Amino acid sequence: MKKKAGPAAPNASKGRSAGVGKVAPRQTRGVNRQAVGSRASLTPPDPKSVIRRLRAQLARALARIEQLQDSADTDFLLDIPNRRGFERELDRCVAYIKRYHASGALIVLDVDRLKPINDAFGHAAGDQVLKSVVAALTQQVRSSDIIGRLGGDEFGLLLWNLTENDARAKAASLEQAVDGLTFTFGGSTVTAGASAGVALLGLHADAEKALEEADRAMYVRKAQRRHETK
């Protein structure tokens, strides 16, 4: 009587090729490669290159800030300091005078008859008058002096190293320069004019008080000129 064959023994070679034991090393090698890549990506950059990049970014930011500051301090129509910019320059001027025992003068000049010109011929005509006034004032001062627009028809001038007599004579010459301007709008010839007030800047000068003093002197002068024309 033949013996029945028992269950076949598992094939050892097949078990090894299909079993987990063969796959695990491949997974381990893959994990190891990822770990190495992660460690490489976490390597800190060169400090010198980081510093160079940050310095370049800072330089661009500072240049942009300066550009915005300049635009905030400039009158776009006339390309001179506006009131904010002029007051900043006045503060610097007063500080310089106190530190180095220098001297100077502040002149506030108001353009006469600008409103009637605006009303009769439009604001474009008024803008042309203002541009011509600035050109006339610029010809009367030195490159180191500063002209700013304080308001619609009011200007400020910072003049260095002037005595009181010199400052008042300069104010008179500025008035004459503006008085000599003539304009033709719509077939009509018109003139403007100017009234100027002076405040001296010395060792005890205060920027705000000097501006108020020159402004008051300008209104006194404006009243005098009205009386002179009658």
Q: Give the torsion sign (CA, 88, 93, 200, 198).
A: negative
Q: Give the torsion sign (CA, 135, 136, 137, 143).
A: positive
Query: How far is the C-alpha of 150 from the C-alpha of 137, rounded, in Å?
Result: 14
Q: For residue 129, which of 165, 68, 179, 202 has the smallest C-alpha distance?
A: 179
* Domain with residues 76-229, CATH architecture: 2-Layer Sandwich (3.30)
153: which DSSP letter? Answer: S
230 residues of the chain, pLDDT tens digit each = 445 555 554 454 444 444 444 554 555 454 455 555 555 557 778 888 888 888 888 888 887 777 666 668 999 999 999 999 999 999 999 999 999 999 999 999 999 999 999 999 999 999 999 999 999 999 999 999 999 999 999 999 999 999 999 999 999 999 999 999 999 999 999 999 999 999 999 999 999 999 999 999 999 999 999 887 65
pLDDT reported for residue 17: 47
pLDDT reported for residue 127: 97
Q: Is the pTM of this model over 0.95?
A: no
Give the C-alpha distances (Å, rounded to integers) separating 134 from 23, 81, 138, 189: 88, 12, 6, 20
State the greatest distance between any 2 C-alpha atoms of the chain, in Å, as a whole number: 155
pLDDT reported for residue 59: 86
Task: Kindly name the residue from 153, 166, 206, 215 that is annotated as catalytic.
Answer: 153
Amino acid identity of residue 132, one-letter, is: S
**Kind and range of the H or E run holding 191:** strand 188-191
**Kind and range of the H or E run holding 201:** strand 194-201
Q: Which residues contact 27 (CB under 8 A, 6 or more apart)?
A: none
φ/ψ of residue 168, rounded to 5: -70, -35
Q: Is 153 a catalytic residue?
A: yes
pLDDT reported for residue 230: 57
8 Å CB contact between 195 and 227: no
Give the C-alpha distances (Å, rounded to integers) separating 35 from 38, 105, 153: 5, 75, 74
Give the C-alpha distances (Å, rounded to integers) separating 202 from 134, 184, 208: 26, 42, 14
Q: For residue 201, which of 111, 99, 110, 109 has the smallest C-alpha distance?
A: 99
CA 220: distance to chain centroid? 34
pLDDT reported for residue 35: 52
Domain range annotation of the chain:
22-72, 76-229
